[in-house]
Amino acid sequence: MPEQKITPELIRQHNLTEEEYSLILKQIGREPNITELGIFSVMWSEHCSYKNTRPLLKGFPTRTPEVLVAAGEENAGIIDIGDGLAVAFKIESHNHPSAVEPFQGAATGVGGIIRDIFTMGARPICAANSLRFGNLDSAEVRRLFRGVVAGIGHYGNCFGIPTVAGEVYFDESYEGNPLVNAFCLGVLRHEQIARGAAKGTGNPVFYVGPATGRDGLAGAAFASQDLTEESAEQQRGAVQVGDPFMEKLCMEACLELLATGVVAGIQDMGAAGLTCSTCETAARGGTGIEIELDKVPQRGPGMTPYEIMLSESQERMLIIVHKGKENEVKRIFDKWDLPWAEIGVVTDTGQMVVKHHGEVVADLPAAKLADEAPVYQRASKEPSYLSETRQFDLATIADTQDPIADLQALLSTPTIASKNWVFRQYDSTVRNGTVVQPGSDAAVLRVKSDSLPLLPESAPNRHQAVQDKYLAISVDGNGAYVYLDPYEGGKTAVAEAARNLACSGAVPLGTTDNLNFGNPHNPELFWQLKEAVRGLADACRHFEAPVTGGNVSLYNQNPKGAIDPTPTVAMVGLIEDPAQITTQWFKEQGDVILLLGALVDQADPYQGLGGSAYLKLRHDLKQGLPPRCDLVREKQLHDALRGWISQGIIRSAHDCSEGGLAVALAECCISNERARHTSELTGANIVLKTPAQVRTDALLFGETQGRIIVSIPPSHETKILGQAAILGLPAEKIGTVGGKNLSLKVDEGIFEWDLDTLHDGWFNCINRIMES
């Protein structure tokens, strides 16, 4: 390839600053060639280096005695779940690719996160996701929504992994820049943890998986710049193309190879492809690596070193094998009918050396590429818009005049409505481990013997059955709350995830987060990020749910401005006894309904209506302050609930979130889908007394935090209320389960909703919009 002159314009095209280019010159002592410039461009992108966020991420709690692999050490964190078993889990974004090519962008997001998990030696057992889109009134938004959901379903269903949990929000701030965050969890034994380090000078380096093509070229760099119509069109080739069947074969072959003990290091080719996998494994191992590109399987004719190194073609892995054991790789990958190639060797030079036709086309220090990207302390300042949103006065808007219509309307908004149109496209039961499917506060998975990767044939416990474990998974985040108060919004995202786990009977194990924010060069947007991370960290520390890893996705904005700052939190919990698994819908006629937590936070000037779904729906406002999150009171509530669940006296538990108390009560009545399109509707009779100075809309639709609705046998009412009083935990009886309607008496007024009508609007809302 003719050598290309490195010009200031070429440097800018690679998203590198003059200062960064000067640092490259200093680090390598010469001018880079075009291939080396491309390598630095992707490795020093925000997506790979976290150069704008690394100082913030250090504030996360990452260590507890149960953490076996901490955040930042490997592709995913790993946490002990007892009896020699562990879980690996992580969430990552594929936002920009999904905006350009929604089907393939979302599909390859799923494929990428699955590879992160089995690279750790774990067998993936479930997937989840968090999605954000603009207003569904827009045909373009519907196109993106349809494509993303189809892509997620295609990859997960074909691969054979259940998609069990998630969340979907719709807001105009995400117009043109949807968020697609993909989560995966896998299980393994402690001794099966694999590492992504190139160790052992002289060990051969193998490329396994399909050939390298020109798809996904420089995708990491594309994800680290503002998304505009021009950049999207230019970077359409940066979207990868996925093959879930190939990935399934690749996973099985890799797990089988790991069981032989011949693997010295393993790394998937995700962001930055062959570049990232080679330099990161060398950096982790404190070694060097040398590869010959002629030996790399290639799909396209005449591919240049630049293209081969920066391609993000999917389903590819890099494996370092103990010298003399090469035939095991060949035997196993031939058995699975998968391509393989021995492309290089581990060295002791500390350099990543890339050859093409026998000539060196890149010779760079691996550790400097992987670990010594520039780190920036970005300027931050409180956004000016907050002075306006905080001036909002509830007295300027009228109280509700028609609660019956308001509840029906809230349940029929796409953000609150049932997401069955989404999750019915996902196989949520494949592998027969799903205990609680999508539709309750948290999904619940059973970890059984066949969930685990195989042990070596010589292992004495190869065929030994393991004790079943039960895991709960919840994904949460509310961008409107973070927009109005990033610190409180960050805390609330974690608290709601923990509350959802508590409602299912689970104790939190750990957290993974995806930080979706705008351009970090804007001080106001960086302030949002900094404050949100502070809130996330404080809450994770309080709930003893360490952050095991995650992803930062910046530059999420469209020509109208940045998205609402949206940290997504995925939390995993452990349920000790399957008898304690709890769901959100009412169970038995005559059960007593209790509200745990304060009816309304009267110290909140907005009475829970700040940033609420009701305020947005009825008044088209995103103003005020979000509901306050009291971490001490939250944890006390969760601990008490788990205690009562362990005693077998809680029949259902459901947290109050978007839409407030009235929406939560309605969901308890209508969300029990016993089979597809076959729901069991259970009525309730509720009596509420409005506290002094509290508005009716705040009472019914305010989103005061730290509240859970439970149903219990009548014989336990006195016991729970008495224990709650001793704990200083607000709790009161608000009604009974029974009848065919939702009846709500507020002071002297009585409101009644037909459950069939409520269910129809809630269950069919998105379906009617998408199929009309």
Element of type H or E holding 540: helix 523-542
- Find how far residue 308's CA is from the centre of its chain: 30
Residue 341's SS3 state is: strand
Q: Where are the alpha helices (DSSP H) in 414-522?
A: 420-423, 479-484, 486-504
Q: Please give the sequence-ordered ranges of beta strands (E in DSSP) within 469-600, or none if there are none.
A: 469-476, 507-516, 547-553, 557-558, 561-562, 566-575, 592-596
Contact in structure between 765 and 753 (CB atoms under 8 Å): no
Write the single-letter amino acid at 287. T
The phi and psi torsions of 538 (rounded to 5 degrees) equal -60, -40
Produce one character per residue of 583-594: b if its CB has 16 or more CB atoms within 10 Å, e if not: bbbbbeeebbbb
How long is the chain? 772
CA–CA gap between residue 447 and residue 187 (Å, rounded): 8
- Nearest CA to 669 among 599, 591, 609? 591
Contact in structure between 434 and 442 (CB atoms under 8 Å): no
CA–CA gap between residue 609 and residue 197 (Å, rounded): 51
Cβ partners under 8 Å of residue 464, min gap 6? none
CA–CA gap between residue 474 and residue 500 (Å, rounded): 7
Contact in structure between 484 and 610 (CB atoms under 8 Å): yes
Q: Please give the sequence-ordered ranges of beta strands (E in DSSP) within 656-770, or none if there are none.
A: 672-675, 678-680, 684-688, 708-712, 731-737, 741-746, 749-754
Catalogue the active-site residues. Answer: 47, 94
Beta bridge partners of 680: 672
Contact in structure between 755 and 702 (CB atoms under 8 Å): no
CA–CA gap between residue 594 and residue 707 (Å, rounded): 10
Cβ partners under 8 Å of residue 398, min gap 6? none
Helix axes 660-670, 403-411, angle to 10 degrees: 60
CA–CA gap between residue 429 and residue 252 (Å, rounded): 20
Tell me, letter by letter, the H, E, C secondary structure of 37-105.
HHHHHHHCCHHHHCCCCHHHHCCCCCCCCCEEECCCCCCCEEEEEECCEEEEEEEEECHHHHHHCHHHH
Cβ partners under 8 Å of residue 20, min gap 6? 40, 44, 374
- What does DSSP assign to residue 615? H
- Give, in order, the Cα–Cα distances in Å from 563 to each of 271, 385, 450, 745: 23, 14, 42, 40
- Pairing of the two strands 163-170 and 123-133: parallel
- Nearest CA to 499 among 710, 266, 313, 256? 710
CA–CA gap between residue 10 and residue 3 (Å, rounded): 13
Contact in structure between 90 and 550 (CB atoms under 8 Å): yes
Q: For residue 632, with 0-12 CB atoms within 10 Å meaning exposed, 13-18 middle and 19 or more buried, which class applies?
A: exposed
Residue with tokens 């393993």: 266
Instruction: Show the tokens assigned to 433.
Output: 């481990």
Alpha-carbon Rg for the chain, nearest whole angstrom, is: 26
